[in-house]
Every structure is written in structure tokens, then in C-alpha cells.
Chains A and B, each alone.
Chain A
Amino acid sequence: DAKTTQPTSMDCAEGRAANLPCNHSTISGNEYVYWYRQIHSQGPQYIIHGLKNNETNEMASLIITEDRKSSTLILPHATLRDTAVYYCIVRPIKAAGNKLTFGGGTRVLVKP
């Protein structure tokens, strides 16, 4: 699976948009970009995924660059409850056993 690089941590202000970058320069054509988050003392939670088009759901938006070498997760109006570790994961369309490989993630602190 392609590796990802994320900032170790970032702060953002409550009510403002949080933009979380992820580099995946070795991504291949059959790999999707997934985002999960882990709130303290909870299990990881799926947020969004995409292949090459930008995606939006009720939680977030995912912007993938045209060359697919990087992406940005956007939380449009961050709340205190969005404080969590956010994981960017790339995975083949047909990953053996549907395995998810988690990296270190970005620790996001939403401040009042």
C-alpha cells in the first residue's frame, strides 16, 4: 500500500474550517484515499473516501489534487467534538482482506 505523510499535529479555531493535508506521492491508479478519525478513548470512525474526484458528505469534504499525489480533508465548521487524531490511508480497490494500514495521523485540537 502507498505510504502517506501527514503533519503530526495542528490546531484550529472552533467554528472555522479545518484543512488537513495528506501527501501520498506514490499512490497508484487503483488506490483510494480514505480518512478515518479517532476521538480519545474511542475506536476509529470512517469519515470519507475518494479516488480522483472531490467528495463531500455530511461530515467533511475531500479534495484530491489532479495528479492524486496529495489530498486535503476539510471540516467546514470545526467543533470541539472534532478534536481527534485524523488518519489518511491509501488502499487498493481490492486490498487483500480489506486491510487498513494506519500511519501516525494528525492530532487535531479544536480550540474555543
Chain B
Amino acid sequence: DTAVSQTPKYLVTQMGNDKSIKCEQNLGHDTMYWYKQDSKKFLKIMFSYNNKELIINETVPNRFSPKSPDKAHLNLHINSLELGDSAVYFCASSPRTSGTLAKNIQYFGAGTRLSVL
């Protein structure tokens, strides 16, 4: 079974559309994340949720709205898609955010490649 699964794997859409990417983890983790990897291959964190509560929002445009219905799911909804949103989006999870984090390893999904035309 895949520990962190994202759907869809590929998403091609037109500018201005609204789309969602889903993420689910079956590891029993408390914390989930969204990262964006652009064409230059730099990975940057976008959001972090702990037990359905927003912990990190890294200056991401308001068009991006994460939603966590429960701690096993963190979906990413994007409104009014722009060309610059084209990237690979990775979901990740880790056991927790509190306490000593030395062994708080993040597990990543396989990514969703978003292409905005």
C-alpha cells in the first residue's frame, strides 16, 4: 500500500480554471504538507497542517486553499489557475510537529505534475 498517495498524477488545464489535488496518508501521521517544485527543480514548502489545523502558510497566493477534512487528508484547491502555477506539487506527512523533531521524518508522495496552458 502506498503510504502517501496523491491524485491525479498528471493534470493539464487551461488558464483561469479551478482545480483540486487530493492527498491521503495511511501512516497515522498528525502532520501533512504541500510542497511546490518549479521548473528549476527547487522544492519549496507551501502549507503545513497539524491535526487539521494550519501551521505554516509560506506566502502562498490566496488562490491556493488547502483543506484538511481529517488528519489523513490534505487537499489543495487552486482557483483561477495561472501559467506560473505549472509545477510539480508534492504532498508529505510526518508524525507530528511538536516536541523534539529530530526523528520527525517527512514521507513524500509521488507528486502531481500540473500544466497550465
A13 sits at the interface (CB 8 A):
no
Bound Cα distance from A100 to B97, whole angstroms: 12
CB–CB A100/B45 < 8 A: yes
B72 sits at the interface (CB 8 A):
no
CB–CB A102/B48 < 8 A: no
Q: How many A-B residue pairs lie within 8 Å, measured between CB atoms?
A: 67
Q: How large is the interface on A (under 10, 10 to 19, 20 to 34, 35 or more residues)?
A: 20 to 34
Bound Cα distance from A43 to B103, whole angstroms: 19
CB–CB B97/A42 < 8 A: no
Give the Cβ gap from B22 to chain A, nearest Cβ, in Å: 15
The residue of chain B having its C-beta at the shortest distance from the C-beta of A98 within the complex is B97
Query: Given A44-B108, A102-B44, is A97 in contact with B97 using a C-beta cutoff of 8 Å?
Result: yes
Residues of A within 8 A of B104 (CB): 98
Since A98-B96, A99-B45 are in contact, a sample of 15 more A-B pairs with Cβ atoms closer than 8 Å, ordered by chain A residue number, is: A38-B43, A43-B4, A43-B110, A44-B90, A44-B92, A44-B106, A44-B108, A49-B103, A87-B43, A91-B101, A95-B101, A96-B55, A99-B58, A100-B45, A102-B44
Residues of B within 8 A of A (CB): 4, 31, 33, 41-45, 48, 50, 55-56, 58, 90, 92, 94, 96-97, 99-111
Residues of A within 8 A of B (CB): 32, 38, 41-46, 49, 51, 85, 87, 91-104
